[in-house]
Each structure stands twice: as C-alpha cells, then as structure tokens.
Chains A and B, each alone.
Chain A
Amino acid sequence: MAESSMRKTLRKTPESDDDTTDRLSALPGCVLLRILSRFNTKEAAVTSVLSSRWRHLFLSKTSINLNFCMNGDASEVHRLFDLFIRFAIRVLGQRNKAPIRGIRLRVCHFVESFRLGFESLLMFIAAALSTYRILNIEVLVKMDKTTSPCCVTFPPGMFLSEALDGLRLDLSVGWNVPEFVLFSNLKDLHLLSFRLVDEYSVQRLLQGCPSLDSLVLNMGSLNESEEGVEVQALRVSSSSLKYAFLG
C-alpha cells in the first residue's frame, strides 16, 4: 500500500513541461479514440492498463473488430476461445453510452465445441443491433478442416434493424435464415460460402430487405459427407436490386 501511494505522488502535473511530460495522455479523448480506431479491439484493449486515463477508452471505440484465429492444442484453444468470448461480450455490453457503428467478427478453425460460446456472442450482437444505430456487420466463420460440419443458430433479433446499411455473412458453417427478417435500410448484402438449407431461405431474406441495392450471393460447396438439399430453382427477386452477383 505504501509503495502504491508513493507512486501516486510521483504523478506529473499537467503544467510541468520537461521532457518526461506525458503529451500523449494529455490529448483530448476524441483524438486518442481516433488513434485507437486504427487498431482492432484486442490491440486497443492493451492500452487499458497504461493508466486510469486509458482504462475505459478502448470501450468507446465505435468500430468493434474481433478476431479469433488460433490453431493447435485443443485444450489451449478452448481456454483462449473462452477468454475471447468473455472479452467480446464485455466490449459489446459495457459501452459507457458510446455508439457502435460497425461490428466485425471473424472466427477461424471453428469446431463444434465453439458453438455455444459463439451463439451467446451472436445474442449480444443482436442486442447491440436493437440498441445502437449500427451501420455495418460482418461475420466470418471458417470451419476447421479436420472436424465434421456443424450448424449455428442466429438469434431472431440478428435480422431486425432499421439502420443497418451493409451486412456481410461469410459462414462455412450451416445456418438458418430466421422466420422474420426486416432490414428496412439495408443496401448491401453479401452472402458468401452460403449453404442453402431450404428452398425459400434466400427469398425470405430478400423480402425483408426493401432497400437492397446490391447482392452478392456465393454458394459454398458441400462436402461429400453432407446431405445437400435438392433445390429445383433458386428464386432471387427484389424490386429495389440494382446489382447482383451470383456465384
């Protein structure tokens, strides 16, 4: 205790102008946030322990960029994935009233045991979507090649937003389009590595996007072991669409 209180008395006053003055922390919060905006959320969060000035700063970043790309020892990967999910939920949940403009979530080497943690994170994203005027969401999931395919379930709220402008889903896991979709302002939709689970999912999604300008739809190839859905015809119809790429 004595040591820590001594450390506090050593703190420089803002008026002192010698070489050791902390010019960086003296910058306004908006300037520091601008600097932090160049980093992904994990990198920015390291600054939280610099000093109390920095403690909550990274939580106010308007773009949330979360990456999990770990390979190797299974138990170590699971320990890290657990830390990742806890961190991601904290970043989404403890905003200190700061807005969110974009969310980017990428998970590589996805295995079945990630599913529960991942789905709980999606629920927090859906909650954020209903609270903030989020403009862009990108979710990328790459399956681990060594494991059998699995599915994730999107929470219903994930497909409801008045503000969302761009949505990019690149999921090599199976997923269902929820029954009810409404993105009243969505302009740009990318569905990559898309796995058709039923004949009507694409149409259901498009019907919920009355402002859609551009659509990129790229079908993922199914593994031999998977049971594909036989689709006679894929209907893509939208009155607002100006540009479509189907692959």
Chain B
Amino acid sequence: MAERGESSEAVMLKKTEEEKLRKGKMIVGDESKAGYEEEGKKVKLVTSDGVTMEVEISIVKEMEIIQTFIGATDTDDSFIFPISNVSSHILNQIIELVKGEYDQELAKKLSHDELKEILVAANYLNMKTLFHFIATAIANVIQNKSVEFVRDFFGIVNDFTEEEEAELRKTNAWAFEGVDED
C-alpha cells in the first residue's frame, strides 16, 4: 500500500512539474507577462468591509500602491494587505474588469455609483490603466447629457434661482444648442 501511495505521489509530482515547465515555456514566449515563476500566486487583501480576498498576482501587479508596499517592506506570502478605501464589492468589480481586459462593454453594465467608486478606488490603489479606462467610461456616460443629468451624477447642488438659471441659459444660448435634454 505504502509503495503504491509513494509511486502515485511521485507521478503527481512529476505531473505538476511538467505542467509548471509547460506553463513556464508558454509564458516565456509571451513577453508581455514577466516572471513565470509567480504564475498562479495569490496575494491576500482585506477590504474596507473586512473581507479577506485572495487576488491573483497578475492583477495585484497593476496596483502600484501594493507594489510600493512590497518593495518597501519584508513581506511573505502570508501577509495580508489592508485596502481600507475599497469594498469587497468594488474589488470584485475591479477584478472582473482587469480579467475582461478592459472592455468598455463591461463598463456599460456598471451603475453610476459603481463607476464613481471604481474611479476613487483606482486612484487610491494607483491603477493607471484602470483609472483611464473608468474615466473614459464615465465620459461616455455623461457625454452630451443634460445639465440636470450631470448635476445628479456628480452630486452638484443647483444653487441658482429659476430666474438666474433662465438668464444664464439666455446669455450663453449658443452653448445649449444641440445638447440632449434627457
């Protein structure tokens, strides 16, 4: 029994080694991904709502704030990084967007609040590609929208009286030509 157990373990070991080698070769060929030895490695992050999430190293690599932290301190695999400004819900959305290779179609499914929270999170985590991606997504949402829509989106409080607003629209009338009113 013991012998059989050993041999099957050895076979498994061999298999994983082969797999590693295969993966290694595959990724060495693909120069866009650096360091195949870290493939599959995960980093633990604890979100603002106290959820510990294991995130693939390839995604964490885009979070420059964590990279700075790793570079500055002695950390091992068990280290849990606190990201106190990002909720688990938003982190999950971020992971989906990175895995989906930043497809604007994915951004269309996000709510306005999610878009804004992801923007703030991307800024906090210092994820440059995500930041530009989400800024573009927000620009697409507010493009050609009415003043009321944009006020509502950014939480801008209208402190004009109706008369003042009407007067402004009159003096800058040209600016409001061709702007959608929905």
A49–B175 CA distance with the chains assembled, in angstroms:
11
State whether the Cβ of A233 lies closer than 8 Å to any Cβ in chain B: no
Is B147's CB under 8 angstroms from A80's CB? Answer: no
Is B157's CB under 8 angstroms from A12's CB? Answer: yes
Our pick among B113, B154, B165 for the contact of A49 (Cβ within 8 Å) is: B165
Q: Interface size class for chain A?
A: 20 to 34
A52–B113 CA distance with the chains assembled, in angstroms:
25
Q: Mark A1-38, 1 if CB is under 8 A from B, else 0.
A: 10010011011100000011111110000000000000
Q: Interface size class for chain B?
A: 20 to 34
Given A46-B147, A49-B147, decide whether A87 and B159 contact each other with a Cβ distance below 8 A. no
Contacting residues of chain B (151-178) with chain A, CB-CB under 8 angstroms:
151, 154-162, 165, 168-169, 171-177
State whether the Cβ of B150 lies closer than 8 Å to any Cβ in chain A: yes
A16–B57 CA distance with the chains assembled, in angstroms:
37
Is B172's CB under 8 angstroms from A45's CB? Answer: yes
Which A residues form the contact surface with B (CB < 8 A)? Answer: 1, 4, 7-8, 10-12, 19-25, 42-43, 45-55, 80, 83-84, 86-88, 90
Is B156's CB under 8 angstroms from A87's CB? Answer: no
Say how far A146's CB is from chain B's closest CB, in angstroms.
23
Given A4-B162, A25-B156, decide whether A49 and B171 contact each other with a Cβ distance below 8 A. no
Our pick among A1, A24, A47, A52 for the contact of B159 (Cβ within 8 Å) is: A52
Q: Which residue of B lies closest to A59 (CB)?
A: B172
Our pick among A7, A50, A80 for the contact of B150 (Cβ within 8 Å) is: A50
A146–B15 CA distance with the chains assembled, in angstroms:
78
Which B residues form the contact surface with A (CB < 8 A)? Answer: 113, 147, 150-151, 154-162, 165, 168-169, 171-177, 179
CB-defined A-B contacts under 8 Å, sample of 12:
A11-B157, A11-B159, A25-B156, A43-B175, A46-B175, A49-B168, A49-B169, A51-B151, A51-B160, A54-B156, A80-B174, A88-B174
Is B175's CB under 8 angstroms from A42's CB? Answer: yes
Our pick among A21, A24, A49, A87 for the contact of B174 (Cβ within 8 Å) is: A87
List the A side residues contacting B169 at CB < 8 Å. Answer: 49
Is B174's CB under 8 angstroms from A86's CB? Answer: yes
Q: Would you call the interface of chain B mostly helix, strand, loop, or mixed?
A: helix
A24–B150 CA distance with the chains assembled, in angstroms:
11
Most chain A CB within 10 A, of B161, B174, B175, B176, is at B174
List the B side residues contacting A53 at CB < 8 Å. Answer: 156
Is A51's CB under 8 angstroms from B157's CB? Answer: yes
A23–B177 CA distance with the chains assembled, in angstroms:
28
Is B155's CB under 8 angstroms from A48's CB? Answer: no
Is A87's CB under 8 angstroms from B150's CB? Answer: no
A83–B168 CA distance with the chains assembled, in angstroms:
14
Our pick among A4, A19, A50, A88 for the contact of B151 (Cβ within 8 Å) is: A50
Our pick among A4, A7, A23, A83 for the contact of B154 (Cβ within 8 Å) is: A23
List the A side residues contacting B171 at CB < 8 Å. Answer: 90
Say how far A53's CB is from chain B's closest CB, in angstroms.
8
Most chain A CB within 10 A, of B157, B168, B173, B179, is at B157
Our pick among A21, A23, A48 for the contact of B172 (Cβ within 8 Å) is: A48
Other A-B pairs, 8, CB within 8 Å; known A25-B154, A25-B156, A51-B160: A1-B161, A12-B155, A21-B155, A22-B156, A24-B154, A80-B177, A84-B174, A90-B172
A4–B161 CA distance with the chains assembled, in angstroms:
6
A49–B151 CA distance with the chains assembled, in angstroms:
10
Q: Which residue of A lies closest to B169 (CB)?
A: A49
A83–B172 CA distance with the chains assembled, in angstroms:
8
Is A45's CB under 8 angstroms from B154's CB? Answer: no
Q: Which residue of B lies closest to A25 (CB)?
A: B156
List the A side residues contacting B151 at CB < 8 Å. Answer: 50-51
Given A22-B154, A23-B154, A49-B169, decide whether A8 and B175 contact each other with a Cβ distance below 8 A. no
